[in-house]
Amino acid sequence: MKLDVLSTSLPGVHLVRSPRFADHRGFFCETYARPDFLAAGLENVFVQDNQSSSLLSGTIRGLHFQIPPFAQAKLVRVLRGRILDVVVDLRRSSSAYGRHVAIELSAESGDQLFVPAGFAHGFCTLVDNTEVFYKVDAVYSAPHDRGLSWADPVLNVDWPVSESNAVLSDKDKALPLLNALPPYFE
C-alpha cells in the first residue's frame, strides 16, 4: 500500500490517504498497516481503538487530550457521516502554540487525520448519525484526561454550529479556556 501523507499547517499533524480499490461491489482499502506508516515516518504504536456515535448534526466532542505520561497520539477516521475535525497545538515551546487546524473528514473520502501527543482534539458532526473511529497510542487514563473549551474565542475556530445549537456533554460544557491551562506540554 502506498500512503499519501500530507502536511497541515500544524507541525506533526498529517492528513493520511490510503488508496481505495473499487469495483462493482464497492471498495477495499487498508486503513492501517504498520510497515507503511513506519515508511511514512509515523512510528507510533497504537494500543487502543475507540469509536463514537453521534445521533445529531452539530454534536461537538472535545476538545480533549491526555497529559503525560498518558499523552496520546491519535489516528482519526469517519466510518459514517462527516465531521469538522479540529486540532489545537498545546506545546508551549511550539511556534504554533494555540493555533488550530480544521479539516473535514468523511466516510466517503476515507481520509484519516494523524494527531500527535501535545495537541487537543475534537470534532463537530456535520450530518446526523455520524460514527468516528480512532486509534490511540496510550490507553485511556481518567486521572490524565483533560480538555479545552471548544468555544474559546482565543482559538478563533469557525465551528459550523452556534453555541446555543451545539449538542454537548456536561463535561465538555465545563472545559477551561486556553489561558487557564497549565503548561502540560513544553
Decide the pairing of beta strands 145-147 and 48-54: unpaired
**Three-state secondary structure of 65-108:** EECCCCCCCEEEEEEECEEEEEEEECECCCCCCCCEEEEEEECC
Q: Are 114 and 17 in contact (CB under 8 A)?
A: no
What is the identity of the amino acid at 57?
A: S
Kindly name the residue from 64, 100, 121, 140 that is annotated as catalytic. Answer: 64
Q: Is 32 part of the annotated catalytic residue set?
A: no
Q: Is 64 part of the annotated catalytic residue set?
A: yes
Kindly name the residue from 14, 32, 134, 144 that is annotated as catalytic. Answer: 134
d(Cα 16, Cα 37) in Å, to the nearest integer? 9
Kindly list the catalytic residues.
64, 134
